[in-house]
Amino acid sequence: MNHVDRSFSFTRIDSKDELMDAMFNHKWPLCCSFYHEKLLYLSDGESEDIPEYAVVAIDKTDGRFCVHGREVGRIKPASMQPAETPKFIQEMKASIRNSGNPVQFVAEPKWHHSCQLCSLED
């Protein structure tokens, strides 16, 4: 993960179509992330114009918002086709048990979150 020091917000997304739409068709603050089917898609890029998501499997939580997990892959919408991404996600899920680099970070529900990266959104 590039930005373990970033405080992330996350929104739960229930369908694959909504997840693809959120990642490929919208511009979000650099702290904005998504939770879908037991994976966090953390906005881990350098620019809102070129999004990049670290896909993290959650192993445990500590306190209110500290998350311990494993980065199991990366999604870069600028270099991937939306139609290819669900298959890529399925492949990541198939290898989750024994893979991934350990990471620790703060992730808060969107309704609770506020930071310098999204303060202009309010």
> What would the pLDDT profile of 71-82 be if each residue is shown by its tens digit?
999 999 999 988
**In this model, does residue 5 exceed pLDDT 70?**
yes
Average pLDDT over residues 15-29: 93
Residue range of the domain that includes 27: 7-121
44 belongs to a structural domain: yes
12 belongs to a structural domain: yes
In angstroms, rounded to a whole number, what is the distance separating the alpha carbons of residues 117 and 4? Answer: 14
27 belongs to a structural domain: yes
- CA distances 61 to 31, 57, 58, 69, Å, are 19, 11, 8, 9
Residue with tokens 């904005």: 32
pLDDT band at 12 (very low <50, low <70, confident <90, very high): very high
**In this model, does residue 116 exceed pLDDT 90?**
no
41 belongs to a structural domain: yes
Give the predicted TM-score (pTM) of the model: 0.85
| pLDDT above 70 coverage of the chain, percent | 89
1 belongs to a structural domain: no
Residues 90, 73 contacting (CB under 8 angstroms): no
Structurally, how many domains does the chain consist of? 1
